Amino acid sequence: MVTHTPLPWRVSANQPGKIGGFEVIGPYSANWRKPAALVCMMQHHPDEQARAAAEAALIVSAVNTHDDLVAALRAILDDNLIDGNAGFVHVDKMRSIARAALAKLEA
């Protein structure tokens, strides 16, 4: 099975002299001190550099927090926070799990 580029990903501005844009890259390789992989390149007309930067940042944020958000959802579903027999829902615990996951996303 093929796996994705290791995390965390980050945004890097293109090399000087290239058409404007931003690159989403993986972590540096321990051996070569170079990015592990170019994940994608956001290129836009020079007038749209702010949009290219925002799109690259969104991709990086979504990918880097994906595992934490999935783990939070699983914790809400798997930690017996809903007692079907008693009709009781542990809303405070669910909110605490959700807040912790969102704090990582917003950091």
- Residue at token pair 């989403």: 24
Q: Of all helices (H) and strands (E), which one includes residue 101?
A: helix 91-106
pLDDT, tens digit (0-9, with 9 covering 90-100), for 9-59: 888 866 544 555 677 888 876 665 665 677 777 776 677 777 777 888 888
pLDDT, tens digit (0-9, with 9 covering 90-100), for 51-99: 777 888 888 889 999 999 999 888 887 767 776 666 667 788 888 888 9
Indicate the pairing of strand 21-25 with strand 38-43: antiparallel
CB atoms within 10 A of CB 97: 19
